[in-house]
Structure 1
Amino acid sequence: MSLKTKQFNIHEDWTVVILGFLIIAISIFIYLPLVPVFKWSNSTDLQNDVFSIENIKVLFLQFIYFLGFGITGVFLVGKSIKNFLKGFPFVYGLTVLALIIAGNTTIKGLNLEAVIFSLIIGLSVGNFFKLPEWFRASLSAEFFVKIGLVLLGTSVIFSDILKAGSLGLIQALVVVLSVWYFAFWVCKKLKVDEELALMISSAVSICGVSAAIATAGAIKGDSKKLSYVISMVLVTAIPMMIFMPIIAKYFGFQEAVTGAWLGGSIDTSGAVVASGSLVGETALKISTIVKFSQNVLLGIAAFAISVYWTYAQNKSADVVASKPTLGVIWERFPKFVIGFIGASLIFSFLISTEVRDGVKESLKNLQGIWFALAFTSIGLETNFKDLFSNNSKKPLYAFLTAQLFNVIITLIIAFLLFSK
């Protein structure tokens, strides 16, 4: 018999906001978790650094830390604590394995993010081994994702947005709006379901993985669809990272134009930095500014998408009601977006630069691990047949078409704004 909490049953979105701010407060005032070492180049590094006694202690303390917050979350939402206690160590172990693989310097050089290995490992285990139903029921992918998104807000600093410069912000706005609407239009033309269309449009136009995750959270999207979108983002980022600098060099594009093109077209931040570095210092600087300018639109986009989705759901559920009331919008609005925006405001205006810099690395590490835990869970609960079925061809065509439009329109805007 599973142990279920009867006293509490708080909405999951409010729970993640509470836990997100609790993590931030503890990091600032009480305990700052150490960042484990995952970087290694050879077997010697692996043995002496990653598997050293000191690092294993850090990993164990980190496990207790995440387990504690996980139990608290399960308790607040009224789910089975017993099942979570039995299942989480396995999920955490697989996630650490993914982080170690991603920590290899060769892998880092290819800018393959830890979440892709979390997803692959989860898919492999979930499809080649029969997992008990209680274990699948204990998986908390959406819960992990939302906590990561609240913590992501701590890295969106308004003073940095201003430093990005007017040209970077102008390009970001034009690219995001034009590419998002084009991608959504293509998806509708190809009869891709609206839920998947929203994820694809955000992933292509804003900032890849983070945008897809935020959109899925805003509309309470299907985790299988999310894993498919993430797979497309990560797979296409690699050839774009390699070939776009080559194309720019062949045609003799100016470095500033190339940087703006790379930053606006490539979906993952790591790939943007890598491709910009291949071109030159100016290209690296401009590409980073443009990509960051797009990233800061994430919270606004999540808010707008959640309002739109609430309206669309209300309309489909009740054809008599032409508009949803404010009460309905608030009821269906994803409250974790409030946590994301609140964290951004606090770290922008209420926290000193010294304190912010002191906790930045640790919070980024925690955010990354929450995301990695989420994708391990998504992989474990996803079937290969669902992920690569024939029905997935149309979303793939829509994604590739939108990505091609993104590359072309971003290059035109980059020439208009950054060429001398």
Structure 2
Amino acid sequence: MEEQKRPIGEDWLALWIGLGIFVLGLGAFAGVNVLGWGAKVNVWIDAAKAVVPVSGAFKEMPSIVSLILTYLFMLGLMLIAARCMRADIKKFAAGFTLVFWISYGCWFTGHYAYIAATPDVLAKYGINWSLNLTGEAGFIVALLAGLVIGNFFPKLAAFMGEATRPELYIKTAIVILGAGLGAKAAESMSLASAILFRGLCASVEVYLIDWAVVYLVARTVFKFNREWAVPLASGISICGVSAAIATGAAIRARPVVPIMVSSLVVIFAVVELLLLPFIAQALLWTEPMVAGDWMGLAVKTDGAAIASGAIVDALVRAKALAMEGIHYQEGWIMMPATTSKIFIDFFIGIWAFVLAIIWCSKIECRGEVKAVEIWERFPKFVLGYMLTFVLLLAFSLSSPEALKAAKGATSQMDAFRVLFFVMTFFTIGVISNFRKLWAEGIGKLAAVYLLCLFGFIVWVGLLISYIFFHGIKPPLVVG
């Protein structure tokens, strides 16, 4: 009998899917719009005019054709991923179809002019008011829709279960995001360099301060043993699910331990996602880069952190425009959130390796730790993010024409990146069944999480963000 191949993990799949879309998008440099048919949603009053192909080269293509092609392309990519993960293909296809169309419906709804229009374009749509949330309101709509399904329609949530994979979606989106940020960085190289350096410094704080404090609280105040305290400290202070699982494996914790911690991470990430962006808009709209970095340091899980950065980017830009007529360029406020989270991810493998050495040499003495473990635990999608960022930055800096081509290429990639983002929001909501998780007996763990997160980590993150990003402003929209 032929030995069954080992499933490929979401980390590797996100890397290759993201790089695949990146390579296809590069066709724009040669004048070939490989992804130009991708469906893009504009702010709308007339629903019939909302969806258009992302490239003007396909302006004659009917919207419904663009949308169906986008769905089929995404479905094809995800079915390849499902096969590599040894998932049930039929269940995945059915579940993903619902995930895609509900997510797209939420994204579409979020672009309704009365929700999304900013003050400078109200006259264009013939309206005199709006919620002023920009099109990124679709992320919030998707999250709320997911929460409703996850908590009130469990059968529907179970039907989509095979395709409810927020980590796969967000990691793929981050790989593609690197290209867009690389092109943006080329427009203002000095600012981008400052963000990268300050983001690195701010991220180090997570490991040197937050982890130690949470571990100490878990051990001394709540009397958890080391097996529980390590994944709990990692999940609360570092990067949520990935950190809890990686460090749990490093110390050979029972599988149930990081799984329970990961469940808590998702719940509290949703709470943070619903609250912190609006707090940042209210208190930090005059310090936009502080607001962005705060999301990267305070909100756990890659999906929720990057998503909250996107929401803050939209909310702060909208308020700055409404209050003072300042029109910041899109994406720059999100950049420090992404940068901090990526650097945090970058060090997860190293941190897990350090803990593995300590546990093997000082606590359990189960044998020598090999250097290959650092590679096994290193988040591979981070390599994709770094590669797409560096390549697009290098291309964009080569000439003004290359920068223009890079903007066209990344606009086509972004048509698919935002879909991965919105599916992340939706599926985070779907898996956040609060009653089920509470019934599993995670009350004591939740107490540690609540105390450390809102009593310490959120506010220390804000202080660190203020120290490193105070006074830095995004570039303004010209013209």
TM-score relative to the length of structure 1? 0.75
Say whether the 8 Å CA contact 1:199–1:229 is kept in structure 2.
no
CA distance in 1: counterparts of 2:168 and 2:289, whole angstroms: 35
| Structure 2 residue aligned with 1:150 | 175
Distance apart, 1:144 and its partner CA:
2.0
Q: Say which of 100, 112, 116 aligns to 2:108.
A: 100
Structure 1's 129 and 311: CA in aligned 2 closer, same or farther, altered over 3 A? same
**Greater per-residue helix proportion:** 1
Q: Structure 1 residue 381 and structure 2 residue 431: aligned?
A: yes
Q: Say which of 36, 41, 45 aligns to 1:38.
A: 41
Say whether the 8 Å CA contact 2:38–2:412 is kept in structure 1.
yes
| Structure 1 residue aligned with 2:120 | none
| Structure 2 residue aligned with 1:331 | 376
Structure 1's 321 and 368: CA in aligned 2 closer, same or farther, altered over 3 A? farther
Structure 1's 323 and 309: CA in aligned 2 closer, same or farther, altered over 3 A? same
Q: How many residues align?
A: 392
Q: Secondary structure at the match of 2:276?
A: helix
Structure 1's 100 and 414: CA in aligned 2 closer, same or farther, altered over 3 A? closer
User: What does residue range 41-190 of structure 1 map to in structure 2 within 5 Å?
Assistant: 42=45, 45-49=46-50, 54-108=62-116, 109-110=132-133, 113-131=137-155, 135-157=160-182, 159=186, 162-164=189-191, 172-178=199-205, 181-190=208-217
Q: Structure 1 residue 301 and structure 2 residue 344: aligned?
A: yes
Structure 1's 138 and 364: CA in aligned 2 closer, same or farther, altered over 3 A? closer
Structure 1's 140 and 64: CA in aligned 2 closer, same or farther, altered over 3 A? same
CA distance in 2: counterparts of 1:306 and 1:275, whole angstroms: 38
CA distance in 1: counterparts of 2:420 and 2:289, whole angstroms: 31
Distance apart, 1:63 and its partner CA:
0.5
Say whether the 8 Å CA contact 1:180–1:202 is kept in structure 2.
yes
Structure 1's 69 and 183: CA in aligned 2 closer, same or farther, altered over 3 A? same
* AA matched with 2:77: F
Say whether the 8 Å CA contact 2:143–2:426 is kept in structure 1.
yes
CA distance in 1: counterparts of 2:241 and 2:315, whole angstroms: 18
RMSD (Å) for aligned C-alpha atoms: 4.1
| Structure 1 residue aligned with 2:457 | 402
CA distance in 1: counterparts of 2:342 and 2:388, whole angstroms: 11
Q: Secondary structure at the match of 1:32?
A: coil
Say whether the 8 Å CA contact 2:202–2:340 is kept in structure 1.
no
Structure 2 gap ranges (5+) = 54-60, 117-131, 219-227, 248-257, 297-308, 397-401, 474-479
Structure 1's 95 and 190: CA in aligned 2 closer, same or farther, altered over 3 A? farther
Structure 1's 106 and 243: CA in aligned 2 closer, same or farther, altered over 3 A? farther
CA distance in 1: counterparts of 2:244 and 2:316, whole angstroms: 23
Structure 1's 197 and 46: CA in aligned 2 closer, same or farther, altered over 3 A? farther
| Identical-pair percentage | 19
Distance apart, 1:62 and its partner CA:
0.9
| Structure 2 residue aligned with 1:236 | 276
| Structure 2 residue aligned with 1:226 | 266
Structure 1's 350 and 324: CA in aligned 2 closer, same or farther, altered over 3 A? farther
Residues 282-302 of structure 1: CA deviation (Å, up to 9, x unaligned)? 7958x9867635543443331
Say whether the 8 Å CA contact 2:14–2:172 is kept in structure 1.
yes
Structure 1 gap ranges (5+) = 204-211, 249-257
Say whether the 8 Å CA contact 2:106–2:142 is kept in structure 1.
yes
Say whether the 8 Å CA contact 1:127–1:384 is kept in structure 2.
yes
TM-score relative to the length of structure 2? 0.67
Say whether the 8 Å CA contact 1:87–1:135 is kept in structure 2.
yes
Distance apart, 1:70 and its partner CA:
0.7
* AA matched with 1:299: I
CA distance in 2: counterparts of 1:142 and 1:165, whole angstroms: 27
Residues 212-240 of structure 1: CA deviation (Å, up to 9, x unaligned)? 68868977983662353143134122033
| Structure 2 residue aligned with 1:367 | 417
Distance apart, 1:171 and its partner CA:
5.2
Structure 1's 61 and 236: CA in aligned 2 closer, same or farther, altered over 3 A? same
Whose RCO is larger (CA < 8 A, sep 6+)? 1
Say whether the 8 Å CA contact 1:306–1:333 is kept in structure 2.
yes
* AA matched with 1:149: I
| Structure 2 residue aligned with 1:320 | 365
